[in-house]
Structure formats: structure tokens, C-alpha cells
Amino acid sequence: MIRRCRHAKHYQVGPDRCFNGSVAHEPLTHENPAAHGNISWTEQCDRCGARRTVNGNQGFTEYSPWGHPDTYIGEK
């Protein structure tokens, strides 16, 4: 049986980066303009290895969808 990963345990991969635009992809994730302008970082799922980009600004966050690490381009 195939199980769906819920990405419950994840950790930051690599250093923080300067904000470089919205990472949200409607309708999978929603844009949060309050999270724009400060830093971005990459998170990786401990169980399946999927990655996502997060924008953060003074407690506000915006998330990209989880993606397979072989096709992930968020760090470029």
C-alpha cells in the first residue's frame, strides 16, 4: 500500500537567502504579501526528502508546495 507523506518532520537545508519573489502556487498554496521582502529558506522533509521554499518577514510566512528533490529548483 502506498502511503502519503504529510511532511510532519522537516528541517532547514542550506543558508537563509534574500527574498526573491513570491513562492506560492495557487491553488496549492496561497500568496501572503506580508511575508514578502525579507528572507527565504528551504525546508526538506525528514521522511521522504521533498523540499519547499518558505518566505518569512516579521512572523509572516508564505510556503511553496512540497516537491520532489530531483526536480526542485527553489535554490537557484
Examine residue 16 and state whether it is found in any structural domain, yes or no.
yes
Examine residue 4 and state whether it is found in any structural domain, yes or no.
no
Examine residue 31 and state whether it is found in any structural domain, yes or no.
yes
Structural domain of residue 65, as residue ranges?
A: 11-71
Examine residue 54 and state whether it is found in any structural domain, yes or no.
yes
Q: What pLDDT digit, counting tens, does each position of 3-57 carry?
A: 788 999 999 999 999 999 999 999 999 999 999 999 999 999 999 999 999 999 9
Q: How many domains in the chain?
A: 1
The pTM assigned to this predicted structure is: 0.84
Q: Which residues contact residue 10 at a Cβ distance below 8 angstroms, ignoring those fewer than 6 apart?
A: 43, 44, 45, 46
Examine residue 17 and state whether it is found in any structural domain, yes or no.
yes
Arithmetic mean of pLDDT over the chain:
89
CA torsion through residues 64, 31, 22, 35, sign: negative
